Structure 1
Amino acid sequence: MKVIMQWTYGAAKKPSATFTSDWVDAKQALIIAMDLEKSGRLKHIEFQDEIGTVWTRKELTKLLEETAAEPQDATVYFDGGFQKENGLSGIGVVIYYTQGKKEMRLRSNRLFHELQSNNEAESAALMEAVNMLEELGVHHQKCTIKGDSQVVINQLKGEWPCFDDVIGKWFDRIEDKLNKLGIKPEYEHIPRKENHEADKLATLALKGESISSRLAL
């Protein structure tokens, strides 16, 4: 979790000034705040997280204590494949995250029979990823989401229009769930070679091989 610090600094009976930091790890921000307080010239300080919530030092300290065991810094990779000849779709999802002091990886794939296009398979893969984030307990934080479909990623970012009603409904469900969880997505288009894990999982799903695993790295 990262925050922006904003504080007012000044000596007694002298002009004060307000300062704003760059993004700082929340734990480091609290250490800096303690150091500023020792100077005796810190008048006010607050912390804004990546989804725009503003915290006092006491509130941020409590938040970090309460969420110490929860997943943080999640990065999602998703991919979907569609076979027009038989109407089958395979999806793959890989989520990297930290939990406590451990780096973790979660992988999953699924086979679908009812999807109609490759873009719908991509959308179903992302919906699956968001559901997995919910099951992990990821909430009220920024999450990086990476996929190799330029069309889907740019539509999710709002840079390209979506004229397909079916895909639009998938996007609505994805957005609703992210909002419910308080997750701020940062979508990133990546080359297929950088999405090889999710791509392989989707391919295995099409071959009838089901994967579900969690691994400490």
Structure 2
Amino acid sequence: MNVKIEFTYRTPKGTEAVFQSDEMRGKKALLLAEDLEKSGRMKHIIFIDRYDARWNLKELKKVLEEIQTEPHNVSVLFDGGFDWKTKKSGLGCAIYFEQNNKSLRIRKNAIVDELQSNNEAEYAALHLALQEVEQLGVHHMPVVFAGDSQVVINQLAGDWPCYEADLSKWADRIEQQLERLGITPEYELVPRKQNREADHLATQALNGVEVESIVERM
């Protein structure tokens, strides 16, 4: 959960000004706000999320305590590959999240044979990741979806039109599922070298190696 800190600063002579910080993790914001409060010159300290929801210090502590038991700070890497010879597609995704004060990672891949192109495989890989996110119990929060497919990222972000009927069906399916779960997607286009984990999972699927795991990250 990311928030901004907004507070009023008062000089010893009574001059006041309102300041707002950059967005940061909720835990970090709490630590900074508590330190600011000790100075005795800060008042009206509030925390604001990207949806303009607002909390005071006590309220944010309660919110952060409540979400600790649920998956949060979720980000997804996805990739899909299409083999023109076999007409099979390898799908891969890695999901990073925090829960119960632990940093965790899910890795999942799959092989499918009903797709027709690499772009369709990329969409299918994102859909696979979204299914894992739903099974994880993620809902009503922002989630970062990162991949190296310009077509998928730019079409879902609304920057490129989608004329292909097959791709449009995938986009509609994904957007409907996101809306049902209350997830606000943040799409991020990354270089292939930053997407090696998902790419490797997709390649493993094409080679007949099934992967499904969840591990704690140190």
Q: Which moved more, 1:36-45 or 1:74-83?
A: 36-45
Report the Cα offset of residue 156 of structure 1: 2.1
Question: What is the CA–CA distance in structure 1 between the aligned matches of 2:44 and 2:209, rounded to whole Å?
Answer: 57
The 10-residue stretch of structure 1 (191-200 or 104-113) with the greater mean CA deviation from structure 2: 191-200
Instruction: Give yes or no for contact 1:90–1:111 (8 Å, CA) kept in 2.
Output: yes
Whole-angstrom CA distance in 2 between matches of 1:55 and 1:180: 26
**Are 2:165 and 1:165 equivalent residues in the alignment?**
yes
Residue 211 of structure 2 aligns with which residue?
Answer: 211
When residues 179 and 43 of structure 1 are mapped into structure 2, their CA distance, relative to the original with a 3 A threshold, is farther
Say whether 1:126 aligns with 2:126: yes
Structure 1 distance, partners of 2:88, 2:10, is: 66
Q: Which residue does the alignment assign to 2:59?
A: 59
Distance in 2 between residues matched to 1:193 and 1:71, nearest whole Å: 27
Deviation at 1:43, TM superposition (A): 4.5
Conserved? CA contact 1:50–1:142, under 8 Å:
no
Counterpart of 2:191 in structure 1 is: 191
Matches within 5 A, 1:23-34: 23-34=23-34
Alignment partners' CA distance in 1, 2:30 and 2:188? 30
| Percent of residue pairs bearing the same amino acid type | 52
- Equivalent-residue separation in structure 2 for 1:176 and 1:47 (angstroms): 31
Matched letter for residue 95 of structure 1: I
1:172-187 aligned at under 5 Å gives the runs 172-187=172-187
How far does residue 59 in structure 1 lie from its aligned partner after superposition? 2.9
Which SS does the other structure have where 1:33 is aligned? helix
CA shift, 1:145, in A, is 1.9
Alignment partner, residue 145 of structure 1: 145
CA distance in 2, matches of 1:57, 1:176: 36
Of residues 120-129 and 164-173 in structure 1, the stretch that sits farther from structure 2 once superposed is 164-173
Kept in 1, the 8 Å contact 2:3–2:50? The answer is: yes
2:87 pairs with 1:87: yes
Aligned length: 217
- CA deviation map 1:21-77 (0-9, x unaligned): 112321232233334445555552322224443333333221111111333332211
Query: Residues 58, 134 of structure 1: CA spacing in aligned structure 2 closer, same or farther, 3 A cutoff?
Result: farther
Structure 2 equivalent of residue 113 of structure 1: 113
**Counterpart position of 2:201:** 201
Distance apart, 1:116 and its partner CA = 2.2
Q: C-alpha separation between the residues in 1 aligned to 2:187 and 2:133?
A: 15
Of 118-127 and 65-74, more deviation after overlay is shown by 65-74
Q: CA deviation at 1:11?
A: 7.7
| 8 Å CA contact retained: 1:51, 1:183 | no
Query: Could you tell me how far 1:80 is from its partner in structure 2?
Result: 1.0
Distance in 1 between residues matched to 2:184 and 2:51, nearest whole Å: 6
Deviation at 1:107, TM superposition (A): 0.6
How far off its partner does 1:120 sit? 1.2
- Where in structure 1 are there 5+ consecutive unaligned residues? none
- Return the alpha-carbon distance in structure 1 between the equivalents of residues 176 and 152 of structure 2: 17
Taking structure 2 as the reference length, what is the TM-score of the superposition?
Answer: 0.84
CA RMSD of aligned residues (A): 2.6
Q: Is the 8 A contact 1:153 1:187 kept in 2?
A: yes
